Amino acid sequence: MKKFLLVTLALFFTINAQEEKKDIHQFKMINEVKTTSVKDQGSTGTCWAFAATSYFETELLRMGKGEYDLSEMFVVRNAYPLKAEKYIRRHGTSNFSQGGQAHDVLMIYKNNGIVPEEIYAGNPIEGRHNHNELEYVMKGMLDGVLAGRKLTDKWDDALSSTLDAYLGDIPEEFSFNGNNYSPKSFFDELGINPDDYIEFTSYNNRNYYDWIELEIPDNWTNDKYFNIPMNDILEIMDNALSNGYSICWDGDSGKDHFYRNEGYAVIPVDDEEKLEDRTEPEKEKEITEDLRIEAFNSFDVTDDHLMHIVGTAENQNRTKFYYTKNSWGTKDKKYDGYWYMSEAYVKLKTVAIMVHKNAVPKFILGKMK
Reduced to 3 states, what is the DSSP secondary structure of residue 275? Answer: helix
349 within some domain: yes
The confidence score (pLDDT) of residue 304 equals 92
The confidence score (pLDDT) of residue 276 equals 74
Reduced to 3 states, what is the DSSP secondary structure of residue 60? Answer: helix
11 within some domain: no
Q: How far apart are CA 154 and CA 133, in angstroms?
A: 22
For the cut 50, the answer to whether the pLDDT of residue 174 exceeds it is yes
What average pLDDT does the chain have? 93
Mean pLDDT to the nearest integer, 318-332: 96
Reduced to 3 states, what is the DSSP secondary structure of residue 297? Answer: helix
269 within some domain: yes
Q: Is 221 left (phi over 0), alpha (psi -120 to 50) or beta?
A: alpha
313 within some domain: yes
pLDDT digits (tens, 9 = 90+) for 60-110: 999 999 999 999 999 999 999 999 999 999 999 999 999 999 999 999 999
pLDDT digits (tens, 9 = 90+) for 126-170: 889 999 999 999 999 999 999 988 888 889 999 999 999 999 999
* Greatest CA separation for the chain: 85
User: Cα dist. 256→141, 266, 273, 316 in Å?
Assistant: 36, 9, 12, 23
353 within some domain: yes
Nearest to 252 by CA among 312, 295, 305: 305
The confidence score (pLDDT) of residue 134 equals 97
Q: Give the domain extent around 306.
A: 20-365
Name the domain count of the chain.
1
> Exposed (0-12), middle (13-18) or buried (19+): which is 58, by Cβ within 10 Å?
buried
15 within some domain: no
282 within some domain: yes
Query: In CATH, what number is assigned to the domain containing residue 109?
Result: 3.90.70.10
352 within some domain: yes
Nearest to 21 by CA among 340, 335, 257, 279: 279
Which range is least confidently modeled, 23-27, 32-36, 277-281?
A: 277-281
